[in-house]
């Protein structure tokens, strides 16, 4: 069953399209990877999917229903972790989770049990009473991921979720995503790391200059690109970069006299 669907999503700023006619769907158990170079419109799409940004045209549907019909109900079922871990730095990690959990109307006792358990599993329990201003990037990312998962959402939207995580925690979280998908969640995530998308996703959307250039199951993408590796397919479909030439130019600029 389709959980989350984007239909012809378009967003214009001063007449210029940042995202143009993007359509895709995520079913139960699907992990959709949203891929594209910097500035291709990934974060704009994410904000429209979460209801934080109103599209110029197009719709976002949750289980067949436009999210704007009952946006609060949709947000209750949604877990979202943005790209930047913008958390209130004067709060401690625990206080932040308590804030989010209370706003999501999780029972206080269950909230404490859940938060303590997840803090422990994410290796954040000893730091839970330290202010977020003292956290490293990875620690903030972990708090944000806990906050996104705490209320057992139906749909997860993750914008570069592995950013800042160390290798072991990234492996753990990769497994978490797989298990959540296996239990029927619909997962959407943006990542610039091709290896992660390749290993994790069941479906893929490739974005270029705000428009979808390819979408579908991972294997179909590879075959369309007529290349065995996803990286080559990605480069063929999105950017043609003369990496050797660019590198030579950069070195020449560095070595130019001061």
Contact 51, 67 (CB under 8 A): yes
Instruction: Count CB neighbours of 118 within 10 A.
Output: 19
| 87 contacts other proteins (rule: CB under 8 A) | yes
| 224 contacts other proteins (rule: CB under 8 A) | no
| 99 contacts other proteins (rule: CB under 8 A) | yes
Q: Which of 39, 68, 69, 84 binds other proteins (CB under 8 A)?
A: 84
| 117 contacts other proteins (rule: CB under 8 A) | no
User: Would you state the structure tokens that stand for residue 153, as one six-digit string?
Assistant: 């959402």
Q: Rounded to an integer, what distance in angstroms lies between the CA atom of residue 5 and that of residue 118?
A: 30
- Which of these ranges, 8-16, 23-31, 35-43, 227-235, lies near other proteins under the rule CB under 8 A? 8-16
Comparing CB distances to other proteins, the nearer of 28 and 98 is 98
Q: Which of 28, 66, 83, 95 binds other proteins (CB under 8 A)?
A: 95
Residue with tokens 């308590």: 98
Q: How far is the CB of 208 from other proteins (least distance, A)?
A: 22
Contact 215, 206 (CB under 8 A): yes
| 21 contacts other proteins (rule: CB under 8 A) | no
| 109 contacts other proteins (rule: CB under 8 A) | no
Report the SS3 class of residue 23: strand
Q: How far is the CB of 172 from other proteins (least distance, A)?
A: 24
Burial class (CB in 10 A: 0-12, 13-18, 19+), 224: middle
Strand ordering across the sheet containing 2-13: 16-27, 2-13, 57-62, 65-66
> In the chain, what is the greatest distance between 2 CA atoms, to the nearest angstrom?
66
Please give the residue ranges that form the binding site for other proteins (CB under 8 A): 12, 14-15, 50-52, 56, 71-72, 75, 78, 80, 82, 84, 86-92, 95, 98-100, 102-105, 108, 129-131, 133-134, 147
């Amino acid at each position: 069953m389709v959980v989350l669907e984007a239909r012809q999503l378009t967003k214009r700023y001063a007449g210029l399209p940042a995202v143009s006619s993007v359509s895709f769907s995520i079913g139960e158990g699907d992990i959709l990877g949203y891929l594209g170079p910097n500035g291709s419109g990934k974060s704009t799409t994410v904000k429209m999917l979460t209801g934080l940004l109103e599209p110029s045209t197009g719709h976002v549907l949750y289980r067949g229903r436009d999210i704007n019909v009952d946006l609060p109900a949709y947000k209750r079922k949604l877990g979202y972790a943005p790209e930047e871990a913008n958390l209130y730095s004067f709060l401690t990690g625990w206080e932040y989770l308590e804030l989010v959990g209370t706003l999501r109307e999780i029972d206080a006792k269950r909230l404490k049990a859940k938060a303590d358990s997840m803090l422990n599993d994410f290796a954040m329990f000893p730091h839970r009473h330290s202010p977020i201003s003292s956290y490293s990037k990875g620690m903030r990312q972990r708090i944000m991921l806990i906050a996104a998962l705490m209320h057992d959402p139906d749909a997860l939207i993750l914008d570069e979720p592995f950013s800042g995580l160390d290798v072991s925690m990234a492996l753990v979280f990769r497994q978490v995503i797989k298990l959540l998908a296996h239990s029927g969640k619909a997962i959407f995530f943006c990542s610039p790391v091709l290896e992660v998308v390749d290993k994790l996703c069941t479906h893929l959307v490739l974005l270029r200059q705000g428009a979808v250039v390819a979408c579908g199951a991972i294997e179909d993408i590879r075959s369309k690109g007529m290349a065995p590796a996803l990286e080559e397919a990605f480069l063929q479909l999105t950017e043609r970069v003369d990496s050797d030439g660019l590198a030579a130019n950069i070195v020449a600029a560095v070595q130019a006299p001061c």
